[in-house]
Structure 1
Amino acid sequence: MRSLIFCTLLLFSTTTLATETRLVVRARARDGKFVGTSMGGVRVVLRDAQSGQVLVSGVIAGSTGNTQTLMKQPQVRGAPLADESSAKFTATLDLTEPRLVTVEVSGPLAQRQALATSTTQLWMLPGKHIEGDGLILELPGFVMHVVTPSAHEFLKLPADKKLTVPLRANLTLMCGCPTEPNGLWDSNRYELQATVKHNGKPLTQVPLKYAGKTSTFEAALSVQQPGIYEVTVTAYDPITGNTGVDSTTFVVES
């Protein structure tokens, strides 16, 4: 009987000592703004760093934040980067003691071909909230999406065996921030290239140029033989190191 009472008191004591502790998690594109709802959000998972047990998970939602604050004005130490609408996920844990937590973010969820994961660890202390800007993890890279030709598109080779296939791709930062020549995200410094294979063998490489529409780039591919073509479009920013890749295939019939 005494053992039962002792265990009950111990359990009650442990429960009452648990303190609600909040952690705000945000994801920010490298050289860009916050990644939020407009890009499908970002998956957040908090795990116990020792056991790997999932403690809480959710999705970052909200806006990309204030362009002036994030991209234009000089950043002052201690000055907030996020405003009330900026994308975030608030994780709530009940802690009885300090806990080392692994925080993982993966996104953007609406562009799976560009999905990237960033992970860090921090100690969470009972009742010591980490809010405001919270914990900001960086997602490097571009979102590259090949628009034309569409996947597994069939094209007819004309009698003179001269076919021009338009290549068209959309390129943004992980936050969805637009790219264009001389813009805030200046595509003049980006290197965009299509690498083409024919029936599994390297065929050619073609640079893509700005198509006159925000975040859109294009090239023309000359095709003279039937077969299966694989196109891989890449983007590279030598200043930030951001990279992006997407692929498609098309079939040419004689």
Structure 2
Amino acid sequence: MRLRSRPSDTERVMRSLILWTLLLFSTTALAAETRLVVRALARDGKFVGTSMGGVRVVLRDAQSGQVLVSGVTAGSTGNTQTLMKQPQVRGAPLADESSAKFTATLDVTEPRLVTVEVSGPLAQRQALATSTTQLWMLPGKHIEGDGLILELPGFVMNVVTPSAHEFFKLPADKKLTLPLRANLTLMCGCPTEPKGLWDSSRYELQATVKHNGKPLTQLPLKYAGKTSTFEAALSVQQQGIYEVTVTAYDPITGNTGVDYTTFIVES
């Protein structure tokens, strides 16, 4: 009767290496590169692109919250005719080759539920909005073309005048009239004006003014004759600190926008 010799240490090490190599290659073979195109679309507008700083895109594992990939959309706002003028046909693409997007590439081994978050526009932080959704990513099943489009509601409001913490001198007769001026666009940067493609005549723009922390007055802003620019005249009769909140509201789409400024009047 022959006895089988016990494997040497070298043989055991080699067998372990072979086993782990096989496991590694079998796992790698199951992983498939999977692409997801993400875009952000302004409500009642176009894509949020490079001209507005793009939007931050973050993909997370829906269960663990682990960040899988992140980036910023880049490209144009898209084709105005396609997005805003012609009737949209089911299945017809909204984006063209230049339209702003971020392409996420993941190695997916099995169906994975992913949370997708977009935040922007990054060049206008006072108007920053976030939109989130979830979808299943399947190994090797790319989501391209229009990809995943998330909507960003709202306006970008910028108070231009008075500038932040600006000082004014109250005259002897205590009659001072200051211009309030603001710039208003959609989240994509699309311009607003009366009877334009984005018709500001239906928008409600208002300035709310406080003096030394107490409500003082409210007044509407009217179109200033320059694209996306609106203004009002504020009468000031006292020294002190003034806070101005300018708001915009579109009753049709529900878009809203807000910006603030402060100024000081001295005697």
Q: What range is the shorter-chain TM-score in?
A: over 0.9
The Cα offsets for residues 172-217 of structure 1, whole Å up to 9 and x where unpaired, read as: 0000000000000000000000000001111110100000000000
| Cα distance in 2, alignment partners of residues 32 and 126 from structure 1 | 33
Per-residue deviation at 1:232? 0.3
Q: Which runs of 5+ in 1 are unaligned?
A: none
The Cα offsets for residues 198-242 of structure 1, whole Å up to 9 and x where unpaired, read as: 011111101000000000000000000000000000000000000
Q: Which runs of 5+ in 2 are unaligned?
A: 1-13
The Cα offsets for residues 134-183 of structure 1, whole Å up to 9 and x where unpaired, read as: 00000000000000000000000000001101000000000000000000
1:125-164 to 2 correspondences below 5 Å = 125-164=138-177
Per-residue deviation at 1:78? 0.3
Structure 1 position 221 matched with structure 2 position 221: no
| Cα distance in 2, alignment partners of residues 66 and 238 from structure 1 | 25
1:15-26 to 2 correspondences below 5 Å = 15-26=28-39
Per-residue deviation at 1:12? 2.1
Structure 1 position 77 matched with structure 2 position 90: yes
- SS for the counterpart of 1:4 is helix
Q: Relative to structure 2, which stretch is displaced further, 146-155 or 9-18?
A: 9-18
1:82-231 to 2 correspondences below 5 Å = 82-231=95-244
Per-residue deviation at 1:98? 0.7
Per-residue deviation at 1:16? 2.2
- Count of residue correspondences: 254
| Cα distance in 2, alignment partners of residues 6 and 231 from structure 1 | 70
Per-residue deviation at 1:8? 3.0
Per-residue deviation at 1:67? 0.4
Per-residue deviation at 1:9? 1.8
- SS for the counterpart of 1:15 is helix
Q: Relative to structure 2, which stretch is displaced further, 3-12 or 235-244?
A: 3-12
1:1-80 to 2 correspondences below 5 Å = 2-80=15-93
Across the aligned residues of Structure 1 and Structure 2, the Cα RMSD in angstroms comes to 0.8
Q: Who wins on radius of gyration, i.e. which is larger? A: 2
Per-residue deviation at 1:2? 4.4
Per-residue deviation at 1:10? 1.3
Per-residue deviation at 1:4? 4.7
- SS for the counterpart of 1:9 is helix
The Cα offsets for residues 32-85 of structure 1, whole Å up to 9 and x where unpaired, read as: 000000001110000000000110000000000000000000000000000010
The Cα offsets for residues 91-142 of structure 1, whole Å up to 9 and x where unpaired, read as: 0001111100000000000000000000000000000000000000000000
TM-score, scaled relative to structure 2: 0.94
| Cα distance in 1, alignment partners of residues 139 and 25 from structure 2 | 17
| Cα distance in 2, alignment partners of residues 68 and 195 from structure 1 | 37
TM-score, scaled relative to structure 1: 0.98
| Cα distance in 2, alignment partners of residues 233 and 36 from structure 1 | 25
Per-residue deviation at 1:15? 1.4
| Cα distance in 2, alignment partners of residues 196 and 5 from structure 1 | 76
Per-residue deviation at 1:3? 4.6
Percentage of identical aligned residues: 94
